[in-house]
Amino acid sequence: MTQNTTAAPAATDSAPAGQWWRDAVIYQVYPRSFADGNGDGMGDLPGITARLPHLRDLGVDAVWLSPFYASPQADAGYDVADYRAVDPVFGTLTDADELIRAAHALGLRVIVDIVPNHCSDRHEWFRQALREGPGSPARERFLFRAGRGAAGELPPNDWESVFGGPAWTRVPDGEWYLHLFAPEQPDFDWDHPAVHDEFRSVLRFWLDLGVDGFRIDVAHGLVKAPGLPDVGHGEQVKLLGKQAVPYFDQDGVHEIYRGWRRILDEYSGGSERIAVAEAWTPTVERSARYLRRGELHQAFNFEYLTTGWDAAALRAVIDRSLTAMDAVGAPATWVLSNHDVVRHTTRLSGEGGAGDGDGGARGTRRARAATLLMLALPGSAYLYQGEELGLPEVTDLPDEVRQDPAFFRGAGQDGTRDGCRVPLPWSGRRAPYGFGPVEGGPSWLPQPDSWRDLSVAAQTGDPASTLEFYRRALAARRAHPALGAGPGLVWLPSPEGVLAFSRTAAGGSFVCTVNLTGAPVALPTPGTVLLAGADVVPGAEETVLPADSAVWWAA
């Protein structure tokens, strides 16, 4: 393995030279569930490398890899014990190097996760902090405090863990430490200069290896309000992202990212190295603050993700997002699924699980329409592995196979995250459907029998399949001059429950129509069909859009 930077792919899109990220389609790989190269039931880096041609054929621009670093896996790798090492379960540093090189050779950029809010309780710094005890310099890199109550038996404040329960754990010497997530994930104290130095060094480590950017985990969490004041009420998790709390979205985080941006710019050359913030803020305007000049490049649009199947609400969030991002010169981003939320085929079905009643069919129709809407909007889009196969959420995993820490700390199965993390089906008629090399071999979560018909192999070449639909959509998005970063959108008159907008570039105009109602709707025919998410017979004057469907038009 060498430490030299491999060449990033040449710009092939309509964004300004080097600014490939402005309209990129970025595909999230969740390493433990993508492809298992060695047959141990857990996905790994060689497995990903071997499957990269699937992503090239799909037509995405970049891959974002969730953490594959050394970790006891208390939170599926978001508890990092060594930021410069690959966990043996995923492979080696050489495998990471090979993955980056192979991706670049295929024209794919690579973004890796960085987890700066907290580490693992097995990280050397935290072990040292435990060993050296109260008052030691090693404790100052974390948030250790004395407890409240006569004997310090109560947590230092009322903050709650995002995974449920108090955000504090007491150690045998009587002090408490802060963990906004699981107890195995102690929060760093970002007032400490060593923490800053360490993360600048970690960024350089991965940039030297050739990565094209970072997804910043809990980007809004690093800085806590001075004095760690109480929130003042319980059930805080229900209000996260909706109201201000003293542990998220504090103004001090921005200075950190200005420093990180300088590092990214140093490495940028002809192709920019980027950072995308995972920042759950109360408004898109607050998210846009992470993207001001000299800060980060993109932020996930969680307000879009959490908006239901409702035309007026979607139009409002699209307008708000475009306005807020435009004000800071950043592209809007769009996302429907990731490893923390119910897959959108199921979420949009309007029913608890895929397959009950008409929920499965309706979920699939709506998911396709939602995908066409998302990919037609100005800016960049994030896809989550398996959505190109139309995978539903797995809603009936037995408790004994579950691994999400939120399941064990929360109120039970609802809202937990294993159901969107089930390993992908690639081929064959028997589990693990090509996820691992051996038919009948293991997979860390069981796959439903119905997934044999949803595998990559089963869908390839079938024009009616979700996979071929995604391939066509991504090819059309790349080819049409008015799509991608391109021009803004102009809303067209449309009946209630229908969205219609145009985008016009020098080389051609484009119209997107989406019927979000449960009944067919007739609309004036705006051009010729570029791509339809359902059967559509265009009329000379009018075209009937089926229920829950979208059409792209060349106008």
Catalytic residues: 217, 266
The answer to whether the CB of 142 falls within 8 A of the CB of 126 is: yes
Q: What number of helices (H) and strands (E) belong to the chain? A: 14, 20
Of the pair 402, 472, the CB lying nearest ligand NOJ is at 402
**CA 406, 408, 411, 417 torsion-angle sign:** positive
Radius of gyration of the chain (CA): 23
Of the pair 219, 391, the CB lying nearest ligand NOJ is at 219
**Minimal distance, residue 75 CB to ligand NOJ, in Å:** 5
Of the pair 341, 514, the CB lying nearest ligand NOJ is at 341
> Residue 533's CB: how many other CB atoms inside 10 A?
27
**According to CB under 6 A, which residues from 456 to 495 bind ligand NOJ?**
none
First-to-last CA distance in the chain? Answer: 51
**Minimal distance, residue 164 CB to ligand NOJ, in Å:** 12
What is the Cα–Cα distance from 32 to 474, expressed in whole angstroms?
26
Give residue for tokens 């805080």: 236
The answer to whether the CB of 13 falls within 8 A of the CB of 60 is: no
**Minimal distance, residue 21 CB to ligand NOJ, in Å:** 20
Report helix, strand or coil for 239: helix
**Minimal distance, residue 406 CB to ligand NOJ, in Å:** 8
Q: Which positions from 87 to 126 touch ligand NOJ by CB under 6 A, shown as an x/- string?
A: ----------------------------x-----------
Give residue for tokens 């621009």: 61
Report helix, strand or coil for 47: helix
218-238 per-residue burial string, b: 16 or more CB within 10 A, e: under 16: bbbbbbbeeeeeebeeeebee
**Minimal distance, residue 182 CB to ligand NOJ, in Å:** 8
Identified binder of ligand NOJ from the candidate list 217, 249, 295, 548, rule CB under 6 A: 217
Identified binder of ligand NOJ from the candidate list 218, 305, 332, 454, rule CB under 6 A: 218
The two beta strands, 521-524 and 62-65, are: unpaired
Identified binder of ligand NOJ from the candidate list 23, 75, 184, 272, rule CB under 6 A: 75
Identified binder of ligand NOJ from the candidate list 198, 340, 351, 468, rule CB under 6 A: 340
Of the pair 140, 340, the CB lying nearest ligand NOJ is at 340
Of the pair 218, 372, the CB lying nearest ligand NOJ is at 218
What is the Cα–Cα distance from 293 to 493, expressed in whole angstroms?
35
CA 305 to chain CA centroid, Å, is 10
The answer to whether the CB of 521 falls within 8 A of the CB of 515 is: yes
**Minimal distance, residue 79 CB to ligand NOJ, in Å:** 7
Of the pair 240, 547, the CB lying nearest ligand NOJ is at 240
**According to CB under 6 A, which residues from 244 to 303 bind ligand NOJ?**
278
Of the pair 115, 431, the CB lying nearest ligand NOJ is at 115
Size of the site for ligand NOJ (CB under 6 A): 9
The answer to whether the CB of 390 falls within 8 A of the CB of 364 is: yes
**According to CB under 6 A, which residues from 155 to 214 bind ligand NOJ?**
181
Identified binder of ligand NOJ from the candidate list 21, 64, 78, 433, rule CB under 6 A: 78
23 near ligand NOJ (CB under 6 A): no
Interacting residues toward ligand NOJ by CB under 6 A: 75, 78, 115, 181, 217-218, 278, 339-340
